[in-house]
Amino acid sequence: MNEEQYIMKNRMGLLNLFASSYSQLIKIDADKTIITIYDVSSEYNIKFMVVFIVVILFLIFVVAKVLLHFFKPEKGICH
């Protein structure tokens, strides 16, 4: 019987909540030797953080535009 195990996992800390795929493929032999077969954690983290920052900036922009639209002073009224 083959005693090898294959595990897919993320190593992104709290960002795992938003992860849509796995960043590592790990093989564990019968003698419990751990071998990382595939690891794109660092590339995935950079890409994810860039997309996350762009989405946050877009949301801030949209909220600011909506607030300015509703709370801008009316033109032509003198107090």
Tens digit of pLDDT at every position of the chain (79 positions): 578 899 988 876 666 676 777 788 999 998 889 999 988 877 777 887 888 899 999 999 999 999 988 887 666 655 5
- Domain count for the chain: 1
In a domain, 78, yes or no: no
Which residues lie below 8 Å from residue 26, measured CB to CB, with a gap of 6+? Answer: 6, 7, 8, 9, 34, 35, 36, 37
In a domain, 79, yes or no: no
Question: Given this model, what pLDDT does residue 22 score?
Answer: 78
Query: What pTM did the predictor assign?
Result: 0.53
Take residue 41 and report the two structure tokens written for it.
């954690």
Distances (CA, A) of 4 to 27, 30, 39, 65: 7, 6, 19, 56
Question: Given this model, what pLDDT does residue 13 score?
Answer: 67
44 CB-contact burial (10 Å; exposed 0-12 / middle 13-18 / buried 19+): buried
In a domain, 54, yes or no: yes
Question: Given this model, what pLDDT does residue 42 score?
Answer: 77
In a domain, 38, yes or no: yes
In a domain, 43, yes or no: yes
Question: Given this model, what pLDDT does residue 53 score?
Answer: 93
In a domain, 20, yes or no: yes
In a domain, 76, yes or no: no
How many residues does this entry show for the chain? 79
**What domain range is 16 assigned to?**
5-71
